[in-house]
Amino acid sequence: MPQSRLAVLRSITAAIGFASVLFGAHVAAAQTYGFATMQPGTLNHTSGSAVAKVLKEKANLNVVVQPTAGESVLIPLISRGEAEFGIANIFEVVAAKQSAPDIRLIGSLHPLRGAFWVRKDTDMRTMADLKRKKVGMGYSAMKTIDPMVRAILATGGLTEKDVTPVLIPNVIRGADDFVSGQADMFFFAFGAPKVREVDVTVGGIRALEIPASGIAAARKILPEGYLTPAQPNPFFIGVEKPMDVYTWDNMIFTNAKVKDDVVYKIIETLEANKAELVTVQPALREFSAAALYKKYDLPYHPGALKYFKDNNIAAK
């Protein structure tokens, strides 16, 4: 073979090899998935971290947690494809239906239970005791928390006119304002590290009791909320006796363009490794593949629907 032709062939081979390296690097990069959560210290960040850890270790999916300022911020990120997965409460996801059209549900990861906490050394015990008190409201980075606060106030026969609003961007700031004395209460989900931090910092907190008779008034504001029973235990910090607590669903979702087999694999992996999930996030004791599928006026990802069909899971 002429020397010049051999040189050309070697050049072509080298070019193909270089292109293959570049293509391989692109494929490897494409296997990194962003998981958008709320800030560290929140229950959602811990839940997202548990999911990411299991998917990385058990499914070989490089899932990276991406903390954000709040759920109103993270949902549009998923719709735009700037992160592949997210976790947010059902109120936020429903509210974003029009502005985030490419969101697709994977399902209800676990219930969320929240409370209004006050200092343990006060005489406040029920929701009605917040009358004329300083209450965190606004939630500019978590827009559906504000109607939730108003719904919970309604269980005690109160409106925002009956309290002194303290404007805050998110639940972390609300907890910090409570610690500093700028607010007389704070709202958070049970199980969040921030709740334990506040409990220790102020010398003890108490969850205000919600009367079962008040849930009808709350549902006029947010129909998706409901009450579930809670018992005094380390998870339910500040619950001093058996009582009902405000409950809503915590959703895991993705972008419409994420591949079906990836979503299918995620559900399959989480179902098979529940014990590892609970090690990081005790709230995931209530996770199951069957509990993922609930009837909401929101589209599910085809990969999730295929899993539900293959495993005979009907929407609840």
DSSP 274-300: HHHHHHH-GGGGG--HHHH----SSPB
Q: Residues 190, 72: one domain?
A: no
133 and 203 part of one domain? yes
Q: Identify whether the C-beta of residue 58 lies closer than 8 Å to the C-beta of residue 269.
A: yes
Q: Which contiguous run of DSSP H or E holds residue 264?
A: helix 260-272
Residues 32 and 85 in one domain: yes
Are 268 and 227 in the same domain? no
Residues 6+ apart with CB under 8 A from 192: 41, 42, 43, 46
Same domain flag for 211 and 275: no
Domain boundary residue, one of 248, 268, 286: 248
> Which residue among 225, 248, 271 closes a domain?
248
Does one domain contain both 118 and 212? yes
Looking at the structure, do residues 118 and 132 belong to the same domain, yes or no? yes
CATH of the domain at 181: 3.40.190.10
The one-character DSSP state at 81 is T
Environment class of 83 (CB within 10 Å of its CB; exposed 0-12, middle 13-18, buried 19+): buried
CB of 278 within 8 A of CB of 261?
A: no
In a domain, 223, yes or no: yes
The pTM of this model reads 0.74
**What is the domain range of residue 198?**
113-248
C-alpha 61: how far from chain center: 20
Are 294 and 107 in contact, with CB atoms under 8 Å apart? Answer: yes
Tell me how many domains the chain contains. Answer: 2
Residues 156 and 235 in one domain: yes
Question: How far from the centroid of its chain's Cα atoms is residue 53's Cα?
Answer: 16
Output the tens digit of pLDDT for each of the chain's 316 residues: 444 444 444 444 444 444 444 344 443 345 899 999 999 988 899 999 999 999 999 999 999 999 998 888 999 999 999 999 999 999 889 989 899 999 999 999 999 999 999 999 999 999 999 999 999 999 988 888 899 999 999 999 999 999 999 999 999 999 999 999 999 999 999 988 999 999 999 999 999 999 999 999 999 999 889 899 999 999 999 999 999 999 999 999 999 999 999 999 999 999 999 999 999 998 899 999 999 999 998 999 999 999 999 999 999 8
Residue 127 sits in the same domain as residue 243 = yes
Structure tokens of 218? 């709350």
